[in-house]
Amino acid sequence: MAVVYLNKRFVQAERAKVSAFDRGFSYGDGLFETLRAYAGWVFGLERHLGRLRKGAVQIGIPFRGEPPQWRKVMGELLRRNGLEAGDSSLRLTITRGADTLGSLLPPETPPSPTLLLVAKPLDAGIFEYQQTGFGAITFRWGSPFNPLGIKSLNYLYNMLAMAQARRESAQEALFVAPDGSIVEGTTSNLFTVSKGVLTTPPADSGLLPGITREVAIELAKKEGMTVREALVPVDELLSADEAFVTGSLKEVMPLTTVDGRKIGDGNPGQVTRFLQERYWAAVEEERLQGVRGATRER
């Protein structure tokens, strides 16, 4: 039976209750983070909590989010769910809390936030797609422009775009802005590779600045590659040598077709493969450092 962590308590999932007046439910008034754990080690926890803290400040929800405490709680949740050995995903949700008045404006006395952490095994399909690559569709029916760059609970358009991708047997949908450039995927950021140069849409183009995007940029630069942050028109993506999308669960995911058309020769590209390897090495390095640090503390 699954155990979740709700408002500072570990509880059986079917007993975990949130108020009918929770503003996350009424208005999507909250934020979330999706993280990946490797054999119990949550990768990039400091960065994820940093993004969540920043978002919480922007929308005025109190959230402290100290990494050591959260690492403990996440480790314990994984253990209680028997997930400490394999690959798993964690989702941390925070809402402004319950508001009995039910008005759009938050009450003058802020309610106490609702905090929920859940864990589950990683979807095994990801490993296969990392070898073969994702197919994506372009989605022009409105882009969920994200002016604050926060990971809010408003994922309705992302969900509808993803459902459309599934209907077309694709694994991701890429949002196209009115100017014809691609913003991001429903749960990923986009990169193209042309003549060895990486291009990714700029952080201020209405996307969610992904943690994996940030890590991929750092790793590529460390390897001496040129990374441009510039708009990516659909044509430029279609004529790129390679493309990939990034996300905490899918890591560096080759993008091999878009709207049924091959990118490059339709196989994961060399630069993409190289960055996948570098990413896995970075995860392992952080995990080993963390495990060594924890052993020293004992």
Binding site for ligand PLP (CB under 6 A): 34, 158, 184, 187-189, 208, 210-213, 246-248
Quickly count: other Cβ atoms within 10 Å of residue 241's Cβ.
Answer: 17
Query: Could you tell me the smallest distance in angstroms from the CB atom of residue 53 to ligand PLP?
Result: 14
From CA 126, how far away is CA 251, in angstroms rounded? 9
Nearest to 147 by CA among 229, 186, 204: 204
Q: How many CA atoms lie within 13 A of 238 on its CB side?
A: 11
* Amino acid identity for residue 15 in this structure: R
Query: Could you tell me the smallest distance in angstroms from the CB atom of residue 161 to ligand PLP?
Result: 10
From CA 250, how far away is CA 292, in angstroms rounded? 26
Of 50 and 233, the one with the shorter C-beta distance to ligand PLP is: 50
From CA 261, how far away is CA 54, in angstroms rounded? 39
Tokens 């480790």 found at? 75
From CA 35, how far away is CA 92, in angstroms rounded? 8
Of 93 and 189, the one with the shorter C-beta distance to ligand PLP is: 189
Select which of 8, 120, 151, 221 is catalytic. 151
Of 89 and 95, the one with the shorter C-beta distance to ligand PLP is: 89
Query: Could you tell me the smallest distance in angstroms from the CB atom of residue 1 to ligand PLP?
Result: 27
Query: Could you tell me the smallest distance in angstroms from the CB atom of residue 35 to ligand PLP?
Result: 8
Of 166 and 292, the one with the shorter C-beta distance to ligand PLP is: 166
Of 136 and 211, the one with the shorter C-beta distance to ligand PLP is: 211
151 part of the active site: yes
Query: Could you tell me the smallest distance in angstroms from the CB atom of residue 47 to ligand PLP?
Result: 8
Which residues are catalytically annotated? 151
